[in-house]
Structure 1
Amino acid sequence: MTSASSLGVESADRRPRPSDPPGTPGAPGPFGRLGAWSATHTRSVFVLWVIVVAVLGAFAPKVESALSGAGWQADGSQSVAVRQIAQQHFGGNASSAIEIVVHADRPVDDPAVRHVIAQAETMVRADPRVAAVVPPQPGATISPDGRTAIVLAGAKADPNAMVRAADDLKGPLAGLSGHGVTVHATGASVLWSDFNTANHNAMMHSEILSWPVTMIILVLAFGSLVAAGLPLLLTMAGLGASAGSLVLLTHLTPVSIWAMNFAMMFALALGIDYALFMVMRFRGARASRGRGTVAAVVETMDTAGKAVALSGATVLVSLSAVMLVPSPAFRSMAGGIMLAVAFVLAATLTLLPAVLAKLGHRVDAVSLPWAKTGEHRSPRFAAWGERLWRRPVAYGAASLVVLLALAAPVIGLRTAMPSIAVLPNDASARAGYTAVQHAFGPGAPGTLQIAVPTAAADEAAGIARHTPGVAAVVPPQAATDHSGWSMIQAVPKVDPSDPKLSGTVHTLRAELPHGSLVGGAAVENLDLQHLLTSRTPLVIGVVLGLGFLLLLIALQAPLIAAFGTAASLLSTGAAFGTARLIFQDGHGAGLLGFTSQGFLDGWAPVFFFAMIFAIAMDYTVFLLASAKEHYERGRDVKDAMVGAMAHSGRVIFAAAAVMVAVFFTFAVSGPLPPKEMGIVLGVAVLLDAVLVRLILLPVLLRLAGHAAWWSPSWLRRVLPSVRFSHD
């Protein structure tokens, strides 16, 4: 049997050894044994992670070019079917086609203008992703005043490849401008190209701003430069591996570029959370119990490591619910974040214990002069816990009132897909969009495409002409490949982002002949919005149900598991209520530098709910796992509540401070979507950490007393045994 000295045990007391068989009093559990193995096989762990990061990281530089830029669609919808029909049977004249808008200060039949148009046609025709190129047609794609013309570059490739084509073509096309002629590429593919570029640049800028703030908070939280660097180690390892994995995943299915953006953010946030919890516990185990390095690692993994694993499982489960939305962009974003979380979690449970074992007391190296590096129990948060214990109703009621007041505006929350206004004014898609509206009317950028069986084409065209919301109808065009399809172009009267367009589409779908399909870029947005609205209750229900189940397994107590789930829901509701006041009603819009769209972007409720709930449950697991650990030791409800605050309050506060700083930097980004993300997530973390985890949930523990930890005997027989106390 391994000797006590070889474990680094510095006291004469008999302490559990990693080699003790399961069942021995105080013997390490599975996570403790994993920590012991990592601590005693540091070279193997380091070599393994170097190989993983090196192999997968070799693919990481290709991530931006490999990931897709489209996928914002409702699979199985009419609009997606119309796009596929248009691409296959109508020369690529689909919603993903690229439109080249040429505007001149003189008629477009002027020789100099015709030369520019010919150059544009030659440029796009040379791109292998472009199908048929349709020159400007009088009465259709030449404006009534004769000064604006549209060249249509049909889509020969899938929507993701067409976004890449837009990336490549929009710059050279704009270069043809001059001498009174302007050339802009526009259309859905160019819009997503500009949208992804603007958001990617904004997120990179925000992350650069957040790093110095993050480092300052980490140094203050850890009190040591060496310890403060550990979260960055986890983040770099997790990001390098996940970025390479995303590139490899693109060989199986398209992955949205947003997956990497969100993965970077989540990897940093969770890497900091997990490292804080683990390192604080490791330092406390060494200092308070006189344990050696390996024994301290074992205790850390048996307690904090177990909580981190359950927290990671909760995050993964919450994000997996987004997979219920049949949209490639949503599924790939959720998958990308889950991949990053999985790698960060693996690094936390294997690489971090090995690093801690190697560092030992040197984890406190380069400490701040005033830092108490060995302190695990925070006197300030212990005093706060005592105050909550004495006056639970007053503090709990105040917290609840604030949360309910902020959550109340959710009742009037409206959502829609982003309008063209989210793009910078100088973006190619927006400039072309504006030129088309000025020349052809407000609804021209959102022209509807009606795919109809040829036998019913004339009837369908007549119905479309008499539909109140339709301004003009182009005569039916039969497919040249004798597929039996005809295509009708119908120009609506309103801007594509106008809510009235939805009524027009609904009327057409109800009145057109059987077999007719209504699509177009604007309709794809409407179908996606309808899908998101219909799936939101399901996603929320699944997230809440699975979150409660995981807490129940972890805590073995139905009442406190229900409290934790409900509290997370409350802070999430308060964040969305605040989002409605800011982004829908426009309060503070001038300060944040944006113009309100009158709604919240349609993808926010589903995706942000899963993200917020995952983060909230992260803190819930840390707090309640610590409370359960104290309760298991002496069945003292006061010690459980106050002890949890003393041991996890500082970690929750520091981790939340980092997250809030990171998320709020996105509020200063240029485009609107990163602002929404930064404000919603930042407010959610702030409210959850301050009002829920540090006030409301401890108060609920206080008021529930022993009932919080009660579990019926039949449930204890069904659930696996999970304990957080180490000895």
Structure 2
Amino acid sequence: MSVTSPVGAPEHAPPVGGPLARLGAAMSDHFRWVVTAWLAVVVLLGAAAPSVFSSLAGAGWQANGSESVAVRELAEQHFGGAGSSALQVVVHSDTAAVDSPEMTAAIAAVTGVLADDARISAVVPPQPGVSISPDGHTAVVLGGAAADPDEMVRAATDLADPLAEIAGDGIEVYPTGASALWSDFNAANHDAMIKAEMISWPVTLAIMVLAFGSLVAAGLPLLLTMAGLVASAGALVLINEIVPISVWAMNFAMMFALALGIDYALFLVVRFRDALRGGASRRMAVAETMDTAGKAVLLSGLTVLVSLSAVLLVPAPAVRTMAVGIMLAVVFVLAATLTLLPAVLGKLGERVNAAALPYARRQQAHSPWFGAWGKVVDRRPWPLALGALAVLALLALPVLGMKVAMPSIQVVPEDAPVRQGYALVQERLGDGVPGTLQIVASTADAEETARIASATEGIAAVTPPMPTSGGAAGLDSVADGTDRVLLQAIPTVDPSDPALAGTLDALRADLPDSAVVGGAPAENLDLQQALNDYLPIVMAVILVLGFVLLLVALRAPVIAFLGTVVSLLSTAAAFGVATLIFQDGHLSGLLGFDPQGFLDGWGPVFFFAMIFAIAMDYTVFLLSTVKEHVERTGDARGAQIEGMARSGRVIFAAAAVMVGVFFSFALAEPLPPKEMGVILGVAVLLDAVLVRLVLLPALLRLTGRAAWWTPRWLDRVLPRISFTHG
């Protein structure tokens, strides 16, 4: 570009500022190259993006290295695939018995469908006393797993329609079991996420138009979001070719790309407009924007990535890959914010205000309303701080009684085939049959294992020992040379009943040393235990790394500590509200769900990381603005007021967008997305309103200059980072 600035300086004058200012100016200078590069990235990765939901893994909800995973692997390798991933098909008729011609034909048809799929190792017909109901009207056909759990979920999806076609003339056919559960849940979850996105996009666009005041400016976050989404979707598909990635990773990536893309764009666009109003040229306005707001955005992005990286410590593939999905989306959105957005802003210049609403033309970066609120906080810091603390503490109290467990069958809609099959099995065969435990023991201990298991409280029945797939016991030994058998222990209670955990512990404590206990419910309980064990580790890592990042950026240990600690308050309050709603059932009628009596077990670990990342996002926006004025004027008290005036509207608008996005997921039918939307939405609402706009400014006022104090030894160690341009 060869356009001259409003004050006559050449557009290509050397920028004043640090590395980010120079990066912004370079992006502005090379608009065509930047746009071409991003188009190439979007096209190349976008070619794989359309298959993201069909390609990604459907399972992965397990604790790697656990006893239950070992049992599943032994069952799949040496017992005809009769592990927890096996497909179970329920065939039922109210009028015809299992030995009737029509039921016999239906069972034969089911057997044929299963046998024709290479992912099924062997088909076990219904067995009297085991998989045929006492009244003879319900039978279960077992298809052994010849593939990994993720592929078995795909098999359940692929075979759903052929199996459904067998039903008719009074005969019902329903796939059930863990693989079918994840298949139906993923389908319902995908539909719910799409519906939520369709609701959130119009709401988001309306909030953006109000926040930006211009249709052109409001479209910029969509540019970042789409580029980040397409690139991250394609990248997930490619990574999935190497390491299985949970389909949930894309669901969270969609949500975070939209929320953070808008946050980052809003912060940069507001600062860019302010620089233009100050008389800067397009290029210099971009440089100033990147040198100030760009640093805050970069620090915010790094904080999000650091928080989510702690989740990678949890030895659960689904949880880890959900974090990977969000991290990829953040990386691409952050890259677009720091490269593509400056290029577009430099090209647009004053046209960023095109199609502006009347009030936007008069809008200044310094908000009179938030400036006035900053003065209120300055005059009454103690009452406001104590009031905010009291509200957050009151909302957090229910956390003391919070219960967590892995999702039950209620996470899928009532009309889902897997839930109908599940209900039939419980009604006709017993409450505990869907949660059958599997025991693998040495042949020598088979009799003793069966005796102890049968006598264990909470076990209704134990099936006869099943030899390895080679035939009689002893003909085919497991890898370590020990002959083993497989027994099925049927509990007396539903798989989601808390009593089952005690039964599992008793079996593992009392059975012979050669015996290991697994099965689908044991996998859930082992995963829940791993999540509980790693929660304090993940929290500690996130808090320490978050503090270190703030310390490096702000060079002030007091405010870095306070900024980190207050982020815990909105998290605790959000989980307190979630306990009241999803565990105790308050507002369940309004939100349209049946409470499980607990929160989903992966929520505390995963949502803590997400909420803390978002909270630190707003912390960075506020404190970086305040620090800029502290550096410029040395007046800590005045900087708090000015920081509120300049960042309050951005924080409020960004939070409104995030709340709109998250609460749209509260309308989803499956329970986990609903739980996710409410917890994150409440967390953002509380954090933005009570923590960032009340409590943290009040703490800045109370600590005064001490908030920005740096010990001499620390001053020598830390890098010098300034948020002031020039």
Aligned to 2:28: 39
Aligned to 1:10: 6
Tell me the alpha carbon deviations over residues 397-420 of structure 1, each in whole angstroms, 9 at most, x when there is no partner: 111110111111111111001111
Provide the rounded CA distance (Å) in 2 between the counterparts of 1:15 and 1:713: 42
Given residue 39 of structure 1, which amino acid in structure 2 is its aligned partner? S
- Contact 2:175/2:421 (8 A) holds in 1: yes
Question: Unaligned 5+ residue runs, structure 2?
Answer: 471-475, 478-482
Provide the rounded CA distance (Å) in 1 between the counterparts of 2:63 and 2:361: 54
1:459 paired residue among 425, 448, 454:
448
Given residue 315 of structure 2, which amino acid in structure 1 is its aligned partner? P
Tell me the alpha carbon deviations over residues 595-626 of structure 1, each in whole angstroms, 9 at most, x when there is no partner: 11111110100000000000010000000000
Q: Does 1:209 align with 2:199?
A: yes
Tell me the alpha carbon deviations over residues 105-130 of structure 1, each in whole angstroms, 9 at most, x when there is no partner: 22110011100110111011111111
Tell me the alpha carbon deviations over residues 124-183 of structure 1, each in whole angstroms, 9 at most, x when there is no partner: 111111110011111211111111111000111100000001111122212211222111
Aligned to 1:245: 235
Provide the rounded CA distance (Å) in 2 between the counterparts of 1:499 and 1:15: 72
Provide the rounded CA distance (Å) in 2 between the counterparts of 1:202 and 1:57: 23
Aligned to 2:14: 19
Structure 1 stretches of at least 4 aligned residues deviating more than 6 Å after TM superposition:
14-18
SS state at 2:623 partner: helix
Q: Does 1:346 align with 2:335?
A: yes
Q: Does 1:83 align with 2:72?
A: yes
Matches within 5 A, 1:355-370: 355-370=344-359
SS state at 2:441 partner: strand
Provide the rounded CA distance (Å) in 2 between the counterparts of 1:663 and 1:241: 22
- Contact 1:449/1:490 (8 A) holds in 2: yes
The 1:586–1:197 alpha-carbon spacing in structure 2 relative to 1, beyond 3 Å, is same
Aligned to 1:517: 516
Q: Does 1:668 align with 2:663?
A: no
- Contact 2:4/2:11 (8 A) holds in 1: no
Aligned to 1:272: 262
Provide the rounded CA distance (Å) in 1 between the counterparts of 2:50 and 2:171: 38
Provide the rounded CA distance (Å) in 2 between the counterparts of 1:360 and 1:194: 50
- Contact 1:8/1:294 (8 A) holds in 2: no
Given residue 113 of structure 2, which amino acid in structure 1 is its aligned partner? M
The 1:421–1:117 alpha-carbon spacing in structure 2 relative to 1, beyond 3 Å, is same
- Contact 2:12/2:283 (8 A) holds in 1: no
Q: Does 1:556 align with 2:555?
A: yes
Mean Cα deviation higher: 474-483 or 716-725: 474-483
Provide the rounded CA distance (Å) in 2 between the counterparts of 1:64 and 1:700: 46
SS state at 1:146 partner: coil
TM-score normalised by the chain length of structure 2: 0.97
SS state at 2:463 partner: strand
Provide the rounded CA distance (Å) in 1 between the counterparts of 2:133 and 2:37: 64
- Contact 2:377/2:698 (8 A) holds in 1: yes
Provide the rounded CA distance (Å) in 1 between the counterparts of 2:130 and 2:567: 54
Provide the rounded CA distance (Å) in 1 between the counterparts of 2:709 and 2:488: 65
Q: Does 1:496 align with 2:492?
A: no
- Contact 1:100/1:186 (8 A) holds in 2: yes
Following superposition, the deviation at residue 437 of structure 1 comes to 0.7
TM-score normalised by the chain length of structure 1: 0.97
Given residue 461 of structure 1, which amino acid in structure 2 is its aligned partner? A
Provide the rounded CA distance (Å) in 2 between the counterparts of 1:170 and 1:94: 20
- Contact 1:284/1:374 (8 A) holds in 2: no
Provide the rounded CA distance (Å) in 1 between the counterparts of 2:404 and 2:139: 34
Tell me the alpha carbon deviations over residues 216-236 of structure 1, each in whole angstroms, 9 at most, x when there is no partner: 100000110000000000000
- Contact 2:574/2:682 (8 A) holds in 1: yes
Provide the rounded CA distance (Å) in 1 between the counterparts of 2:102 and 2:595: 41
SS state at 1:133 partner: strand
- Contact 1:16/1:28 (8 A) holds in 2: no
- Contact 1:217/1:658 (8 A) holds in 2: yes
1:295 paired residue among 284, 302, 326:
284
Identity across the alignment (%): 62
Provide the rounded CA distance (Å) in 2 between the counterparts of 1:620 and 1:505: 45
Following superposition, the deviation at residue 36 of structure 1 comes to 0.8
Provide the rounded CA distance (Å) in 1 between the counterparts of 2:7 and 2:96: 92
The 1:315–1:369 alpha-carbon spacing in structure 2 relative to 1, beyond 3 Å, is same
- Contact 2:5/2:11 (8 A) holds in 1: no
Aligned length: 715
Aligned to 1:681: 680
- Contact 2:66/2:526 (8 A) holds in 1: yes
Provide the rounded CA distance (Å) in 2 between the counterparts of 1:296 and 1:383: 27
Given residue 445 of structure 1, which amino acid in structure 2 is its aligned partner? P
Provide the rounded CA distance (Å) in 1 between the counterparts of 2:484 and 2:716: 63
Tell me the alpha carbon deviations over residues 542-595 of structure 1, each in whole angstroms, 9 at most, x when there is no partner: 111111110111100000001111111111111001111111111111111111
- Contact 1:18/1:28 (8 A) holds in 2: no
Given residue 68 of structure 1, which amino acid in structure 2 is its aligned partner? A
Matches within 5 A, 1:95-110: 95-104=84-93, 105-110=95-100
Provide the rounded CA distance (Å) in 2 between the counterparts of 1:7 and 1:561: 43
2:152 paired residue among 140, 143, 162:
162
Following superposition, the deviation at residue 480 of structure 1 comes to 3.2
SS state at 1:371 partner: helix
Q: Does 1:435 align with 2:424?
A: yes
Provide the rounded CA distance (Å) in 2 between the counterparts of 1:722 and 1:370: 36
Tell me the alpha carbon deviations over residues 320-369 of structure 1, each in whole angstroms, 9 at most, x when there is no partner: 01001001001111001100100000000000000000001000000112
Matches within 5 A, 1:183-332: 183-287=173-277, 289-332=278-321
Aligned to 2:480: none
Following superposition, the deviation at residue 455 of structure 1 comes to 1.4
Following superposition, the deviation at residue 186 of structure 1 comes to 0.2
Given residue 299 of structure 2, which amino acid in structure 1 is its aligned partner? L
Provide the rounded CA distance (Å) in 2 between the counterparts of 1:164 and 1:433: 19
Aligned to 1:620: 619
- Contact 1:463/1:512 (8 A) holds in 2: yes
Provide the rounded CA distance (Å) in 1 between the counterparts of 2:11 and 2:299: 23
Tell me the alpha carbon deviations over residues 377-434 of structure 1, each in whole angstroms, 9 at most, x when there is no partner: 1111111111111111121111111011111111111100111112111111111111
SS state at 2:131 partner: coil
Following superposition, the deviation at residue 515 of structure 1 comes to 2.2
Given residue 561 of structure 1, which amino acid in structure 2 is its aligned partner? A
Tell me the alpha carbon deviations over residues 477-523 of structure 1, each in whole angstroms, 9 at most, x when there is no partner: 11133121210111011110000000000000001111211000011
- Contact 2:4/2:10 (8 A) holds in 1: no
Q: Does 1:50 align with 2:39?
A: yes
Given residue 698 of structure 1, which amino acid in structure 2 is its aligned partner? P
Aligned to 1:645: 644
Aligned to 2:414: 425
- Contact 1:367/1:373 (8 A) holds in 2: no
Matches within 5 A, 1:173-192: 173-192=163-182
Q: Does 1:74 align with 2:73?
A: no
Aligned to 1:382: 371
Question: Unaligned 5+ residue runs, structure 1?
Answer: 21-26
Following superposition, the deviation at residue 7 of structure 1 comes to 8.2
Provide the rounded CA distance (Å) in 1 between the counterparts of 2:340 and 2:411: 42
Q: Does 1:403 align with 2:398?
A: no
Aligned to 1:657: 656
SS state at 1:494 partner: coil
2:115 paired residue among 90, 114, 125:
125
Matches within 5 A, 1:142-153: 142-153=132-143
Provide the rounded CA distance (Å) in 1 between the counterparts of 2:335 and 2:626: 25
Given residue 56 of structure 1, which amino acid in structure 2 is its aligned partner? L
Given residue 504 of structure 1, which amino acid in structure 2 is its aligned partner? T
